[in-house]
Amino acid sequence: MLTETHPDAHCELDHASPLQLAVATVLSAQTTDVRVNEITPKLFARYPTAADYAAADRTEMEELIKPTGFFRAKTDSLIKLGQALVERHRGEVPGRLDDLVKLPGIGRKTANVVLGNAFGVPGLTVDTHFSRLVQRWRWTAETDPAKIEFAIAALIEKRDWTMLSHRVIFHGRRVCHARKPACGACTLRRDCPSYGLGPTDPALAATLLKGPRIAELAAAAGAPV
């Protein structure tokens, strides 16, 4: 049902290479993908290679990425990331989890985003939405992201990891919100052990739906738009 509910699920960070995706994912911390996509065309044009990030003028980069917040820390991460890529990987983003997580600013979440979407290697992206939803569905009681990742990896076939991540995150962004989940307008409500956490009245719940497909999501759940 999750697959039918979100046929448009995909990585929402614009990118054309593993390096661009790694950079965009670092920038996406504490902000929205939309905000990141607004500034990356200019950033990617200014810094086309890892060596360009390594040699970047800090003040200039800070100015470019300022709208994404935490711009000093993110600039620091991107410069160090560029330096590490040049020193250890000939300027290329590696396609292995073990190598990726050793890079500055790249945790397991970012590594799995890069693997799944730039290298075609299945990866589970355990972000705040993914964590919340798998707990609500009682797929796991773990709260630590790495433990959640291992628990879900044991339940789901590896080839489905990347798309499952996108669909769960889409459901978290559009339907199953942290504060007021749209339970009455949710296609998963019949099977969800947390049904009732948010409003169950279909008309009221439909007003909580978000994103570009509100009408389709409401109709799929049998709720009025």
Binding site for ligand SF4 (CB under 6 A): 136, 175-176, 181-183, 186, 188-189, 192, 194-195, 197-198
Candidate list 14, 42, 99, 127, residue with the active-site label: 127
| Known catalytic residue at 76 | no
210 is catalytic: no
Taking the complex as a whole, the smallest distance from the CB of residue 132 to ligand SF4 amounts, in Å, to: 9
Pick from 109, 204, 129, 203: which is nearest to 173 by CA?
129
As a whole number of angstroms, the distance between CA 200 and CA 105 comes to: 41
Name the one residue in this structure whose structure tokens are 């990118």. Answer: 15
Question: Residue 134 CB, nearest distance to ligand SF4 (Å)?
Answer: 10
* 15 vs 171, beta carbon nearer ligand SF4: 171
d(CA 55, CA 76): 12
| Shortest reach from residue 123's CB to ligand SF4, in Å | 23
Indicate the residue among 122 and 172 with the shorter CB distance to ligand SF4: 172
Q: Are 91 and 85 in contact (CB under 8 A)?
A: yes
* Active-site residue, selected from the candidate residues 14, 42, 109, 210: 109
Residue whose CB is less far from ligand SF4, 94 or 199? 199
- Residue 205: which residues within 8 A CB-CB, separation 6 or more? 182, 183, 184, 185, 186, 198, 199, 223
Positions marked catalytic: 109, 127
